[in-house]
Amino acid sequence: MNIGITGTGSYIPSIITKNEDFLEHDFLGTDGENFTHENTVIIEKFKAITGILERRYASSDQNTSDLGHLAAEKAIQDAGIDKEELDYIIFAHNFGDVTSGKVQGDTLPSLATRVKHLLKIKNPKCVAYDMLFGCPGWIEGVIQANAFIKSGLAKKCLVIGGETLSRVVDQHDRDSMIYSDGAGAAVIEGNNDSGEILSHASVTHANGEAYYLFFDKTYKNDGCPNTRYIKMHGRKIYEFACTYVPQAMKDCLDDSGVSIGEVKKIFIHQANEKMDEAIIKRFYRLYGEQAPSDVMPMSIHKLGNSSVATIPTLYDLVRKGELEDHEVKKGDVVIFASVGAGMNINAIVYRV
């Protein structure tokens, strides 16, 4: 039985925040002291490493669940299914609904339940739950949907990845420029001719790596000590990802029975342009090959890092011909791969 993606959708918020919008920010080091460099230098170095020129933020009247709902509507319409036929709604996120101007995440009820409510699905047998797996959450949701369908527990699943990271960042942390908002969704079905999941792999490294991404107070010494923001050990994450992600991708591809030469595109989590490029180069090097110049679509330059939303959003844009110089055609083999908090890594080899 083929199990594949029959519909995709994404929601890209309308508020564009460019790098120059951070020129007046009071960036501080971990010790709370000002940097010796001007913000122009900080921003230029940031752009050179991450590739980010601008990012998208949700409007103040939108929450993560709202973004997920808008992406889900498009995916359902694209799949051409009756929403009442959905057996599962899986919503991958990390912080819940963080209302604009607030600091507390809200997951009561779950974001998946909120989306089901917004979609006005009446069927009580449509089970809605959330997935917490760091940035690889959407891929892990697809893996679970695949398992549900393969076991006979489901026929149609909706998997959403959404986040409003702009509301959990410390404005005094240079890393705050990385994060953005957005949502992507996909309908997964069995017994279809729209695609096929060929293999998948997931791992968790938590013996020393568990807190490479964490929650902590602001870098501002007189800031509120009880409010927490997303923080990361950037160098450690870079080294970890470049060391372990290529091998995880190779294990997944080898399990699929597909050769490296058949891979047309790699949809990798949009975390950092330099890091993603290094991962792809090392992945191909494991096969004694050189990475094709057009194998890795990138959206981070304009959309930033929206965590679980990056891959479903990127795939939706390419699938629908909305990303210049990239396309996927029926029969193409692609890889989805991600790394993030946990530290979790996963991958899917997929035939379109």
pLDDT given for residue 1 in this prediction:
79
pLDDT above 90: residue 33: no
Cβ-contact 157, 118 below 8 angstroms: no
- Pick the closest to residue 295 from 308, 282, 309, 277 (CA basis): 277
pLDDT given for residue 224 in this prediction:
84
Mean pLDDT score of the chain: 95
pLDDT given for residue 135 in this prediction:
97
**The pTM is what?**
0.95
| Structure-model confidence comparison of residues 223 and 241, the more confident one | 241
Percent of the chain with pLDDT over 70: 100
Model pLDDT for residues 161-218, shown as the tens digit of each residue:
999 999 999 999 999 999 999 999 999 999 777 799 999 999 999 999 999 999 999 9
pLDDT above 80: residue 322: yes
pLDDT above 90: residue 19: yes
What are the DSSP calls for 161-196, one per residue?
A: EEEEGGGS--TTSGGGGTB-EEEEEEEEEES-SS-E
Structure tokens at 275: 């890091």
Model pLDDT for residues 87-109, shown as the tens digit of each residue:
999 999 999 999 988 878 999 99
Model pLDDT for residues 6-18, shown as the tens digit of each residue:
999 999 999 999 9
Domains (ranges, CATH) in the chain? 3-194 (3.40.47.10), 198-320+327-351 (3.40.47.10)
The confidence band for 303, taking pLDDT boundaries of 50, 70 and 90, is very high
The confidence band for 251, taking pLDDT boundaries of 50, 70 and 90, is very high
pLDDT given for residue 101 in this prediction:
84
What single-letter amino acid sits at 235? Answer: R
pLDDT given for residue 12 in this prediction:
97
- Compute CA 319 distance to the chain's CA centroid, rounded to the nearest angstrom: 16
